[in-house]
Amino acid sequence: MNRKYDVIVIGGGHNGLVNAAYLARAGKRVLVLERRHVLGGAAVTEEVFPGFKFSVCSYVVSLLRPEIIRELDLPRHGLEILPLDGTFTPMPNGDHLWRVNDHAKTRREIARHSKLDAEAYDEYGKAMIDMAHFVKPVMNMTPPDPASLNPKGLMDLLTMGRRFQKLSADDKYNQVQLMTMSAVDFLDQWFETDVLKATMSASGIIGTFLGVRSPGTAYVLLHHYMGEIDGAFRSWGLSRGGTGSISNAIGDAAREFGAEIRTEAPIAKIILKHGRARGVVLENGDEIHADIISSSVDPRLTFMKMVGAEHLPTDFVDDIKRYKFRGSSGKVNLALDALPDFKCMPGAGPHLRGAVSISPSVEYMERAYDDAKYGRYSRRPYIDIVIPSLTDPSIAPPGKHVMSCFVQYAPYNLKEGTWDDKREEFGDTVIDTIAEHAPNMKDIILHRQVLTPLDLEREFGLSEGNIFQGELTLEQLFFLRPAPGWAQYRSPIRNLYMCGSATHPGGGIMGASGRNAAMEILKDKK
């Protein structure tokens, strides 16, 4: 016999918690059930090695919606974003590219490589900010269904069309290109410096199974400018105490609104009665009932595992089976005794306080992708390195450091062998790659944690290890996410909703999915 809830939120990741917080805020009795012992899902801080606290998966914040920060009063609940200043790209020829938030400095730095590019960089920045302004409202919008005759949806589409029409000729041109072109093709039109294009285009491939030359990768370039225009903080930031403290802040907000949160409560099944979701069965057999189930886990887990294909329309099942995950990235977390010393810029300078990007050339990036296409991890991967302990000493013992390496490509499906055999070999490849730029690397490692796509699936419930709960490719965005006709946070099962990154607008610590879903649920269940 257990108390009845209005809503059960499946998964205590940042989206599930945002969803719960908004529902609780609206007076619903909400229960959040998290499989693991810690809250946060992929936005989690864990003390993997004594004294060293890691943002195990997601490690930077850029897109957390400012309205969420405001409406949930997250700063009061302990959210503090520290600036992550700049991106440093070491080059094999002993040179480097170091872009920082200080515009004038960056301009001078780029001018070192190309005067033309320095000019273009300003133009580019202006253009991208215009674009970001155009795209921003779409983030908080429930995608209309173009195939339905629902007048509201048609109106929304029409409004979008009108807004596009109102853009200046150049903005229209840029917008079309951003939505369709490859990051490199797009950047080729602006810049000539290879290392600049390589580093900028990297943001276009993160979490996808695409290369920097694959069409559709350009639009992600916008994300960098979203953060800027929101004015919440500059493009990239770190959360004090690791990304887990974002989840904890949201969790506290949710609790304050009356939500109940349980960890170590893995769910086996969603209970259906007469085709409606009525509750959940935990793996320990407990049944908990609620009028509404809101799932923040990905559609494969929600529908194939917890609901069961037999209860769903075949077309929908086909769509979910077709929905592409194919994780392409891994993570290597290192506990360091000292700081890495880069050949091209020796010493513990401020260049280590930003992101260090191993992306020396466009060809390097593309070749990394070629390996993945044929089923092996990149022999020389793209690596995005952050040393948060420099900005936030609280996460490592005095004098020691925490280093987070995001690695691409690491395809979930290997042509030869399994990730369990290849894990350490993969870790070595990452260290070797970094050591080519920072020779002291191998001597300063105290501990290392290697996360393969398989580990991301097992540990964090991300199917096929996709960090965005499904590829962020055009055919899986907006009104196609996660399936055409089901992009409005609802599902074929009445009272079963989706609120995770597998819904519009998708991955990244944004929270928009959780918030949008809450709005839809409240629309249905006033």
Partner 1 sequence: MPHDIIIIGAGHNGLITASYLAKAGLKPLVLERRGTAGGACVTEEFHPGFRASTLAQTTGPLSPQVIRDLSLKSHGLEFIKPAVRVFAPLLESRSICIYEDAKRTADELTNVSAQDAKTYPEFVSTFARIGRALAPLLTMTPPDIEKLARAELWGLGKLGLAIRGLGKKDEYRLLRYGPMAIADLAAEWFETEPLRAIVAACGIFGAFAGPWSAGTSAALLLQAATDENAIAPTTFIKGGMGALSQTLVKIATRNGAEIRTNAEVASVSVRDGKATGVVLTSGEEISGRAVISNADPRTTLLKLVDPAEFDPSFLNKIRNYRAIGTVAKVHLALAELPHFPALANGDSDEKLSGRIHIGPDIDYLERAFDAAKYGDMSPQPYLDITIPSLTDQALAPAGAHVMSIHAQFAPYHLKDGDWNTRREALGDIVVKTLSDYAPNLNEYIVARKVITPLDLEETYGLSGGHIHHGEMSVDQLFAFRPLIGWARYRTPIEGLYLCGAGTHPGGGVTGTPGANASREIIKDLKRRA
Residues forming contacts to partner 1 in the complex (CB under 8 A) are: 146-147, 164-165, 169-170, 172-173, 176-177, 180-181, 185, 189, 210, 213-216, 315, 322, 324, 363, 366, 370, 373-374, 473-475, 479-480, 484-485
φ/ψ of 189, rounded to 5, equals -75, -20
CA distance 466 to 453: 7
Asked if 233 and 83 count as a contact pair (C-beta separation under 8 A), the reply is yes
Using the minimum distance from each CB to partner 1, give the nearer residue, 140 or 180: 180
Q: What are the angstrom distances between the C-alpha of 231 and each of 175, 226, 332?
A: 22, 9, 31
Q: How many other C-beta atoms are found inside a 10 Å radius of the C-beta of residue 259?
A: 25
CA distance 225 to 217: 15
Using the minimum distance from each CB to partner 1, give the nearer residue, 104 or 149: 149
Using the minimum distance from each CB to partner 1, give the nearer residue, 324 or 525: 324
Using the minimum distance from each CB to partner 1, give the nearer residue, 131 or 261: 131
Using the minimum distance from each CB to partner 1, give the nearer residue, 164 or 458: 164
CA distance 308 to 291: 19
Using the minimum distance from each CB to partner 1, give the nearer residue, 217 or 495: 217
Taking the complex as a whole, how short is the minimal distance between the CB of residue 271 and partner 1, in angstroms?
A: 29
Query: Residue type for 495, please?
Result: N
Using the minimum distance from each CB to partner 1, give the nearer residue, 254 or 365: 365
Taking the complex as a whole, how short is the minimal distance between the CB of residue 12 and partner 1, in angstroms?
A: 32
Per-residue exposure over 442-476, b if at least 16 CB sit within 10 Å of its own CB, e if not: eebeeebbbbbbbbbbebbbbbbbbbbbbbbbeeb
Using the minimum distance from each CB to partner 1, give the nearer residue, 146 or 397: 146
Taking the complex as a whole, how short is the minimal distance between the CB of residue 223 and partner 1, in angstroms?
A: 18
485, 488, 492, 493 alpha-carbon torsion, rounded to 10°: 180
Using the minimum distance from each CB to partner 1, give the nearer residue, 122 or 283: 122
Taking the complex as a whole, how short is the minimal distance between the CB of residue 323 and partner 1, in angstroms?
A: 11
Element (H, E) at 454: helix 453-460
Using the minimum distance from each CB to partner 1, give the nearer residue, 174 or 239: 174
Cα 300-375-425 angle, rounded to 5 deg: 100
Taking the complex as a whole, how short is the minimal distance between the CB of residue 145 and partner 1, in angstroms?
A: 9
Taking the complex as a whole, how short is the minimal distance between the CB of residue 386 and partner 1, in angstroms?
A: 29
Asked if 372 and 409 count as a contact pair (C-beta separation under 8 A), the reply is yes
Taking the complex as a whole, how short is the minimal distance between the CB of residue 27 and partner 1, in angstroms?
A: 36
72, 73, 76, 80 alpha-carbon torsion, rounded to 10°: 90
Taking the complex as a whole, how short is the minimal distance between the CB of residue 215 and partner 1, in angstroms?
A: 4
Using the minimum distance from each CB to partner 1, give the nearer residue, 70 or 322: 322
Asked if 342 and 369 count as a contact pair (C-beta separation under 8 A), the reply is no
Taking the complex as a whole, how short is the minimal distance between the CB of residue 169 and partner 1, in angstroms?
A: 6
Strand boundaries in 436-499, DSSP class E: 445-451, 496-498
Could you give the 3-state DSSP secondary structure of residue 237? strand
Taking the complex as a whole, how short is the minimal distance between the CB of residue 170 and partner 1, in angstroms?
A: 6
Give the rounded distance of the alpha carbon of 496 from its chain centre. 24
Among candidates 346, 339, 337, 343, which has minimal Cα distance to 397?
337
Peptide bond into 409 cis (omega under 30): yes
Element (H, E) at 460: helix 453-460
Taking the complex as a whole, how short is the minimal distance between the CB of residue 2 and partner 1, in angstroms?
A: 40
Peptide bond into 482 cis (omega under 30): yes
